[in-house]
Amino acid sequence: MDEKPTARPPLSPSQLFQRFERGEIDRDELHARMAEHALGLIREMEEDRRNPAAAWIEALRCRAAVTALVARHSGRLVREVLIALSEVPGFPPALQLWNAAHPDVPLHCFIRVKRPPMFRITSMRNDGKELRVSIEWSNGENPEVRRSRFRMRRDGSWKLKALPDSHRPGRRTRS
């Protein structure tokens, strides 16, 4: 009887490097899985080249969404939220947010208003002790939009972290 190979869970490049450094994966697997990420980026660039008008409109939407967030909450806080979300174990949008800590990558690169996989921050509320963040996201294979809520708090080193029990997956809707 032939056994089907189990699908490898998608991991962000930073998660792959952490696993490689701990010895959990070898160099060949690291290279193969990084090549998967590179192919995904190349496919998006090819799509943008085939339909530059749609890519331009999406870029405008993303820039407008980030401009509104930054005006309300500051670019530093928005980036900290993205970094905290990128570290949530098993959270699919982490694949898009893995390099949010790099200040050279503009914030609008992490927001995807319509293009799958979609990711947008719909609200952020800070009560002084906790930050509550609501997001909408989808993955590339499924057009279903998911809503999630997180509570975040600063740790002892003043780094913003999503609280372990805070991920509240919400209802799903079609976009």
pLDDT at 141 (0 to 100): 72
Global pTM reads: 0.83
Rounded Cα gap, residues 100 and 106, in angstroms: 9
User: pLDDT confidence of 1, banded at 50, 70, 90?
Assistant: very low
Q: What is the pLDDT of residues 30-67, one digit of tens each?
A: 999 999 989 988 999 999 999 999 999 999 999 999 99
pLDDT at 11 (0 to 100): 82
Output the six-digit token pair for 108. Answer: 């609008």
Domain ranges of the chain: 51-174
Q: Does domain 51-174 have CATH number 2.40.50?
A: no
Q: What Rg, from alpha-carbon coordinates, does the chain have?
A: 17
pLDDT at 174 (0 to 100): 53
Output the six-digit token pair for 88. Answer: 């949530």
pLDDT at 24 (0 to 100): 94
